[in-house]
Every structure is written in structure tokens, then in C-alpha cells.
């Protein structure tokens, strides 16, 4: 039986192949981390912010600079920057005493009176209040008060009814009335 012996050319080729394959494997596993791209594989300008890690993005920002001096004061606007005063919330209101007398009014009240029903009052204005909201409040500490429009019978009137704490109609307190249209 004859023994095979490697030839010098075969030995050199085998060593060269081992170095070549081993070097690429070493570089692939040790020098570039898995699932990453190195500079040779990136085309300049092709990476976007979403392609970068948070650490890389943070490294792109520099320190905040010093705050600049405050600018000059601007000119004052018309009427000291205040708007033109608007009209009052309501021009239709009244303060009426327990006898049905007008104590004070924002105007536009033509008459006030007690009605025949205990606790009932009527306030008449100089304009139609049939499409307005009417709000009332007691000047005293106890009782309840209700207000409504007198529409359709009296389109410029409001009816007010005052009750004591038991629900009985009474003329026991002064009251306020405001109409919002």
C-alpha cells in the first residue's frame, strides 16, 4: 500500500484558505456586533433620525447657551390695552320691598305691586320680556322665591311669588329681580 503525502503547494493552499476563512469569521463575530452596520456599508446622508439610537440622538445636541438680554418694551396699545367697556349684563332689574314698592331699579321698570295672592308680586317693565330669562332672589334669610314671565297675558311683566320655609305664600322679605334678554 502506498502512502499519500501532501505536496508543498497543497499545504500552502490549505494554510491560505484557513487564514482567509478564519479572518472573515473573526471579523464577522468579534469586530462588528450582530445585526449592525458599519461605516463602509452606510451611504452618506442615507440615515434618518429614526435609524439612530437614543444615545446617538442625545449626543447630537449641544449644551444650552446663555439667555440673551430682555428686549425693549413695546409701545402701549390704544386705551392702555383695554377694550371698550361693554353694556351691563342687564338693564332690566329691580329691588322691591315687602310692600311691593320699588326701592331701586336699573331703569325700565314702570310699576311694581302686590297681587291679591299672599306672597305674590308683579313687576312691569317698559319693554317686552316674553323671550327673556328672569332671575330672582330674596333679600332676607328665610324662605323661597319664584319668578316667571307673565306672557302671554302681559308680555312686559314678571310675576314673583314668595314662600316661607313651610311653603306658605308670604310677603316676608324684600327681593331682587333681574331680566336677561
State the pLDDT at residue 123: 94
Q: Is residue 160 part of a domain?
A: yes
pLDDT 10s digits, 93-129 = 999 999 999 998 777 999 999 998 899 999 999 999 9
Q: Is residue 59 part of a domain?
A: no
Q: Is residue 68 part of a domain?
A: no
Q: Is residue 12 part of a domain?
A: no
Q: Is residue 154 part of a domain?
A: yes
Q: Is 171 exposed, middle or buried (0-12, 13-18, 19+ CB in 10 A)?
A: middle
- In 3-state terms, what secondary structure has residue 106? coil
Does residue 149 surpass a pLDDT of 80? yes
Q: What is the mean pLDDT of the chain?
A: 81
Where residue 146 falls (left for φ over 0; alpha for ψ -120 to 50; beta otherwise) is: beta
Provide the domain limits for residue 128: 92-180
Residue 166 has a CB neighbour count (10 Å cut-off) of 7
pLDDT 10s digits, 69-87 = 998 988 776 665 667 777 7
Task: Judge if pTM exceeds 0.85.
Answer: no
Q: Is residue 144 part of a domain?
A: yes
State the pLDDT at residue 27: 57
β 109-114/144-149 pair status? unpaired
The span from the first CA to the last CA of the chain, in angstroms, equals: 125
Q: Is residue 161 part of a domain?
A: yes
- How many structural domains compose the chain? 1
Q: Is residue 39 part of a domain?
A: no
State the pLDDT at residue 152: 76
121 or 17, which is more confident? 121
Amino acid at each position: 500500500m502506498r502512502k499519500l503525502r501532501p505536496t508543498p503547494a497543497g499545504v500552502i493552499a490549505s494554510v491560505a484558505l484557513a487564514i482567509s476563512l478564519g479572518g472573515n469569521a473573526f471579523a464577522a463575530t468579534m469586530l462588528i456586533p450582530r445585526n449592525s452596520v458599519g461605516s463602509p456599508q452606510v451611504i452618506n446622508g442615507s440615515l434618518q433620525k429614526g435609524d439612530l439610537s437614543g444615545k446617538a440622538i442625545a449626543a447630537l445636541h449641544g449644551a444650552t447657551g446663555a439667555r440673551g438680554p430682555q428686549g425693549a418694551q413695546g409701545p402701549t396699545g390704544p386705551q392702555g390695552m383695554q377694550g371698550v367697556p361693554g353694556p351691563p349684563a342687564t338693564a332690566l332689574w329691580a329691588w322691591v320691598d315687602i310692600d311691593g314698592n320699588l326701592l331701586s331699579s336699573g331703569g325700565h321698570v314702570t310699576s311694581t305691586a302686590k297681587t291679591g295672592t299672599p306672597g305674590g308680586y308683579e313687576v312691569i317693565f317698559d319693554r317686552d320680556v316674553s323671550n327673556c330669562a328672569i332671575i330672582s332672589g330674596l333679600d332676607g334669610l328665610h324662605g323661597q322665591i319664584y319668578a316667571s314671565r307673565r306672557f302671554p297675558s302681559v308680555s312686559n311683566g314678571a310675576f314673583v311669588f314668595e314662600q316661607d320655609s313651610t311653603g306658605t305664600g308670604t310677603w316676608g322679605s324684600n327681593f331682587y329681580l333681574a331680566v336677561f334678554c
